[in-house]
Each structure stands twice: as structure tokens, then as C-alpha cells.
Chain A
Amino acid sequence: MMDLATFPSLMPFLPELTLAVGALVLLMIGAFGGERTTSLVTTLAVLLVLVAGLVLVFKAEDGVTFNGAFVLDPFARFMKLLALAGSGFAIIMSTNYTKREKIARFEYPVLILLATLGMMLMISANDLIALYLGLELQSLALYVVAASNRDSVRSTEAGLKYFVLGALSSGMLLYGISLIYGFTGHTQFQGVATALSAGPVSVGVVFGLVFVIAGLAFKVSAVPFHMWTPDVYEGAPTSVTAFFAAAPKAAAMALFVRVLVGALGPATADWQQVITFIAIASMILGAFAAIGQRNIKRLMAYSSIGHMGFALVGLAAGTEAGVQGVLIYMAIYVAMTLGAFAVILFMRRQGTMVEDTSDLAGLSRTHPVVAFIFAMILFSLAGIPPLAGFFAKFYVFLAAIEANLYVLSVIGVLSSVVGAFYYLRLVKIMYFDEPAGAFEPMSGELRVVLGLSGLFVILFVFIAGPLGTAASVAAKTFF
């Protein structure tokens, strides 16, 4: 029985509480105020994300609460800040786009807030049930925003496709969870880890582990569970795609790390081979499949598949350095992706969005500053020093080599060379092709996001130290 004396401590849960209550208040404002409150709700949503971030940094205390279902530790803090930043910037970038495309609705920022709540719960999940509930909360909101442009067949199709395949992956995840519970008798991560370290890992647990990995690989869109990504990225409204590509990936990767390293740590030898395969397949597919793409959103989809492969290289190492590499990789990935999507959202000519790579032709002459920053972001995505993307790859490959995963590292470096081709092709189109005409002027919020992303990418060498320290503190959580 629970009385007031055993009421769970809410201090680790404060940021989520802020976000949850705030989202409900915004929903009420929107529901009673009608469509005219859309811009008010959007502004408040950004502020709410900011407040939740401040609460997370200054007010929330580390600890385990709700009978061990929820944990706040340095790892969770790091990834939550990343998820909040990704969501906040995604809402900011959507403001002008949704207005112009006439899909601005007050539910949109509220759903993004609820998805962010789901992500934060995923990152802090310390129990298999909490993991599933957080994941469902996030996914359900994502399915809806993917289909939010109801009058577009492609957006509806994207939402439906994402929903059906997402439901399938949730089914696999649940099946895996039930097997792990059945063979260890625990749902809490510590309990699972203790039960596993007691003796040899049984076949049932390995079976469950494979299903859980399959479910999570779907959420980070790693090969062979990536099929939905290009279609959903292309079909969903661009502002939604920008959101999909950043924050949910970071949250799902955090969940991946916590489940595999935190709960299934004693079975590292069993999951290492699976993750190694997934990482290699993702890197190779991301590198080769993107070459033929002419639609820039599809190209970014394959690029994100490849990047997830690189991040999983760090996880495959299964060491503290590997986890640190994953954290740094995700931070840099989110920053680069937001910048790239600021440019994609800016590609509007004569009142309609254009999405073809050839539409970027001659950007260096029509919009030299945008072209320069975008070129820097593309160089960084390709992993060229001294830009941010180089350090991201450096840390994960270093960890993989230290863990004696030589084949994985060699394949990774080779596929990153292949991948550089299509990023450089975009730079070539921008700088050496005949101009295809100017875009409409860039709106203020996109300038801010692009500028910040550009600064992050170009001046990364100066913040590499503090970021590396933060990531190493976060990675120590598990070791």
C-alpha cells in the first residue's frame, strides 16, 4: 500500500511534469480559443520546451523514482537536452512553413510536445513497461503529425505507412519484451541485468533480445528495418520531416543504448554481432542508395540511415568510449540535420516548395551565404575535417578499433568515402551549375537555425572539449 510517506519523489520527474502539464494547458487554450490561437500556442510551445530544458538543467535531481520505473542520470540529461533542442528548433522552423502551406493548426505544436514527452520518458525508462509506453506515446504522436497535411495524398500515405509498419515493430518489441520478462522474471533493467549475470544467457533471452533490437532498429531506421524512412520523409510535410530526422532519432538511440548496455550488458557478446551487422548494413545502404536520389528529402532519408549506422558502430563496441562516441555522434547529427533542413525548408520558388536536388543549382550566386553554410554542413555530413562531422565519426571509429572491431571500422570508413560522393555532388550543383533562379527570401527563424547550425559545424573544434567531457560524464553512467 502506498501512503503519503512513500509517495514517489517527483524531483527527477520535474521536466516531464512541466512538459506534460504545459502541453495539456496549451491544448485547452487551443481547444477553447480555436484556430486563431495557433501562433500563440506555437510561441508558448517553444517557451515551454525552453522552460523544461531549464528545469532539467537547474532543478531536477538525479535519482530513481516511481518504484524504479523512471531514472534521471547524467546520460538521460545529455540525451534529453538533445531531444528538447531538436524538438524546440523543429517547432521554430515549422512556423512559417505551416502558415504558407495552410496546414497551421494549434494541435501541431501540442502533438510535438507530447511526442517530446514520450521521448523524454523513453530516455529515462528504467523498466521494460516504461520503455514501451514512452515509445508508444512518441510514435503515436509522430504518426499523426506525419499525416497532418490531410489534403495531400502523399502525406496521408506517409502517415498510414508509418503507422502500419510502426505497429508491426511495436508488436515485435512487445514479443521480445515478454520473452525477456519470461526468462528473467524481471521488467526492471537492473533486475534483468542481475538475472542475466547470474549464469549463461539462455536461448529464450537471446530470442527476446533479437526481437527487441528489431523493434528498436525500426525506430532509428536502421537496415533492414529502414523501408519506411524514404517514403515517410518524402511524403510528410517538410517541417515534420525536419522534426522526424532529429529528435526522435536521438531518443530512440538513447533507448537503444540504455536497453543494450544498461539492461542487457551481461549479454554483450550476444547482441554485439547483431548490432555489428545492422551497423554495416545501414552504412552501406545509406552510402549506395542515396547516390541515385534526386529528391532532396529522400536523399536526407538515406543519409540519416547511413548516419544511424555510424552511430551504431559506437554501440557495437559496447564500451564506455563507444557510448561516449554515440552521444557525441547524436549531438552533432542533430545539429547538422537541423541546419540541412533549414535549407530544404527555404527551397521555395514562386510560392511552391521545390524538392529536387537540381533546384539548388547555382545557389552560390543567388544566395551566397546560404550556399556557403549549406556547403559546410554537407562537408560535415560527409565527415571532412576540421568540421563537426569528422569528430563524430572519429570518436565512434576510435571506440570500435579499441574494441577490436576492425572489419566494422574498415567497412565504415569505406562507406563514408562512398557517401561523401553524394554530399559533394550537392556542393557541385550549388557552386558549378547554371543558376536555376532565386528562391523566395529566407524567413527569420530559418536564418537563426541555419546560422546556429553553421556556427556549430564550423567552430566545433572550440566546443569539442566541453562536449566531449559532458559525453564522457554521461557515458560513465553505465560503467
Chain B
Amino acid sequence: MILHTIFFYLFSGITIASALMVISSRNPVHSVLFLILAFFNAAGLFVMLGAEFLAMMLVVVYVGAVAVLFLFVVMMLDVDLTELRQGFLQYLPVGGLIGVVLLAELLIVLSGWAFAPDVVGNPVQPIPDMAQISNTEAIGRLLYTHYIFFFQIAGFVLLVAMIGAIVLTLRHKPRVKRQNIADQVARTQKVELHSVEPGKGI
């Protein structure tokens, strides 16, 4: 149990520290790397909860795909940091004040936290006995049966995102030569063989 507590504080401590570094480090590449560190530690927390499927998903999807994509974008875009930081000090007092107020409100709510004991007992879909069934299977059984509606709608949301990305970025420019493989393969009359002398072009 002590080991459990130590690891909990280790993972959550590093998560919070790296989350702070994400928004405060000067170099955006470092920010993304800290973000990856935060994801790894959050995954560690999920493992400790016994949710190994979510932990692996977090690593595969967020670290493997999203964070790497971020890294590409950050490296490709030439972001001028000094320009981005220009208004920072100017907005800091107001932003900080709002943040502090919100934090204080949250603390008031959380300190007055009175979890009704029966609430824990009445989730719509209680967690099945983990000795009988792995949690990957448990999620799969729920997701594709009970929550099939949500699953399909989420699919539609992703479809709209895809259409949107294409609509907003794809341009058919005239006078751009595109490779047409069918044309190339079908070329018979115009195929010629040249005997090229060494050291000279055609």
C-alpha cells in the first residue's frame, strides 16, 4: 500500500510539473516533449487504477499520433516566439486574477465535497468483476452494444472533421502537372529508345 501511495504521488507530481513546463517553457519543442512526459505519467496513473486499456490507448493515440503530429507542426511552422510573448506581461494580471478566482471557487466546491455514498453505487454501467473479465473486453462489450449510438455519432463527428479539413485545404490548381499512371502505362506509340553516348545527354 505504501508503494502504491509513493507511485501515485510520483506519477501525479511529475504530471503536474510537466504540465506546468508545457505552458512555461520557452522552446515549443520542449513544450511538446513535456506534454509527452505528462501523457506517460497519466498513463501510469491509469495503470494504477487497473485501467490498462485506457493507459495503452493514451500512449498509442496521444503520444504515438497526436504528440508526434504536434512535434511536426511545431518544427515545420516558423513560430516567432518573441511576437507571441509580446502581450504576455500585459495580460498577465487580468488573466492571473481570473485564474486565481476560478481556483478559489473550485477549492470551495471541492472542500465542501460531500459525495453522497449512494452515488458511488448507482452508475448506469457498473464496472464488472475484474477477475472475470479483462477491462479491454468490458469496454468493448459496452461500447459496441449499449453505447453503439454514441459510437456511431462519434464516427459522424470524425467524418465532418475529415470533410472540413479537405474543404478548407484542398485546392485544384490549374497548370499543375500531375502524374497520371494510367496514361504512362498506356503510352505505346511514343516510347522510343535512344542510344546515349557516354558523357553526353540526349
Contacts and interface: CB of A to CB of B under 8 A. Distances in A.
B146 interface: yes
Contact of A8 (B118, B124, B149): B149
Contact of B109 (A130, A191, A204): A204
Contacts of A147: 168
Contact of A207 (B109, B124, B163): B109
Given A66-B148, A203-B108, 15 more contacts: A66-B149, A67-B146, A114-B163, A134-B153, A136-B157, A137-B160, A144-B160, A144-B164, A144-B167, A148-B168, A150-B168, A182-B119, A185-B120, A186-B124, A207-B109
A184 B97 CA distance: 31
Interface in A294-321: none
B161 interface: yes
B88 interface: no
Contacts of B168: 144, 147-148, 150, 159
Interface string B118-151: 1111111000000000000000010001111110
11 contacts: A2-B146, A2-B148, A8-B149, A27-B163, A107-B166, A144-B164, A147-B168, A148-B168, A186-B122, A187-B124, A204-B109
Contacts of B146: 2, 67
A134 B112 CA distance: 33
A191 B119 CA distance: 11
Interface SS of B by simple majority: helix
A121 to B, nearest CB: 6
Interface residues of A, number: 45
Contacts of A184: 119
A191 B124 contact: yes
Specify the main secondary structure of chain A where it touches its partner. Answer: helix
A140 to B, nearest CB: 5
Contact of B157 (A1, A111, A140, A203): A140
Interface string B146-185: 1111100110110111011011100000000000000000
Contact of A185 (B108, B123, B148, B159): B123
A129 interface: yes
B114 interface: yes
B91 interface: no
Contacts of B159: 114
Contacts of B147: 67, 129
A183 B110 CA distance: 11
Nearest to A159: B168
Contacts of B123: 185-186
B119 A195 contact: yes
A-B pairs, top 8 by smallest CB distance, nearest first, are: A144-B164, A66-B149, A2-B145, A185-B119, A133-B153, A185-B122, A140-B160, A107-B167
Contact of B156 (A105, A117, A144): A117
A110 interface: yes
